[in-house]
Amino acid sequence: MTELEDNVQILVHPSADAVAEAIAARLIARIAEVQDQGRVPQVCLTGGRIATQAYQHVADDGPRSPVDWRRVELWWGDERWVAADSDDRNDAPTLAQWQGVLDLDPERVHRMPATDSGLSLDDAADAYAAELGDRRFDVCLLGVGPDGHVASVFPEHPSSYAEGRVIGVRASPKPPPERLSLTAEVINTSREVWFTVAGEDKAAAVAMALLGGGAVQVPAAGVHGTDRSLWLLDREAASKLPSDLVQRGVI
């Protein structure tokens, strides 16, 4: 029997669409729950196809949910170092889907700085770290690359052993070469980390992350929530996991 840490859960869904729907439903429910507890939810968003699909479901269902969208703080785990109005930004699809649909407070939408901010890459990282302060995310969503990267923390790359809270990333193996990213250190203060992963090309990375890969070789292996790490997978992304592990997590 393969052992998982107690607060790691793996939930396998029949398709990528089902993963996206599950992420959206869980996110709305979790945000409402944190608001019920009297706190302003701190949510860290990710780019990527599956998350973007999930955000569309949030846009569809969010307005008639119990969530007070004006009392939600939004952050991003990483950003491509491009202009603020570039379609290449990780936050572009989310904002296109949510703004004007969810009643967000612009003061609580914390985009990472852009090239046209006038800041250098490193100053932009410092500025975002200062804005973030010592907040802990209630939920930190993370896509996982086929190489096991999360946010812009890439395997065997300076980003995977960088110190500090927010870093400027150079020579990224995935274009564009310059990026901003939270470090694993900050992600690991999150109450919950949710990995959102679909597709056969992710199966090896998922298996390595869950079956003892090292954090420098497989950055996804080095991040977790303090209360819970939740892997939301489709069948293909879960296809290289031992069946006992998967069945344990299915609900």
Ligand X SMILES: O=C(O)[C@H](O)[C@@H](O)[C@H](O)[C@H](O)COP(=O)(O)O
Q: Which residues bind ligand X (CB under 6 A)?
A: 46-50, 78, 80, 90, 143, 145, 174
Closer CB to ligand X, 35 or 113, in the complex: 113
Tokens of 44: 């860290």
3-class DSSP assignment, residue 153: strand
Taking the complex as a whole, how short is the minimal distance between the CB of residue 47 and ligand X, in angstroms?
A: 3
Q: How far is Cα 69 from Cα 166, in angstroms, rounded to an integer?
A: 26
Taking the complex as a whole, how short is the minimal distance between the CB of residue 172 and ligand X, in angstroms?
A: 8
Residue among 196, 46, 73, 220 at smallest CA distance from 135? 73
How wide is the angle at C-alpha 246 spanned by C-alphas 208 and 222, nearest 5°?
A: 30
| Angle (deg, nearest 10), helices 91-98 and 49-61 | 10
Closer CB to ligand X, 80 or 165, in the complex: 80
Taking the complex as a whole, how short is the minimal distance between the CB of residue 7 and ligand X, in angstroms?
A: 23
Closer CB to ligand X, 69 or 76, in the complex: 76
Taking the complex as a whole, how short is the minimal distance between the CB of residue 150 and ligand X, in angstroms?
A: 8
* DSSP assignment string, 202-240: GHHHHHHHHTT--TTT-GGGG---SSEEEEEEETTTTTT
Taking the complex as a whole, how short is the minimal distance between the CB of residue 113 and ligand X, in angstroms?
A: 15
Closer CB to ligand X, 42 or 52, in the complex: 52
Cα separations (Å) of 160 from 138, 146, 185, 220? 23, 16, 10, 10
Taking the complex as a whole, how short is the minimal distance between the CB of residue 68 and ligand X, in angstroms?
A: 28
Pairing of strands 166-169, 179-182: antiparallel
Closer CB to ligand X, 145 or 213, in the complex: 145
Closer CB to ligand X, 35 or 46, in the complex: 46
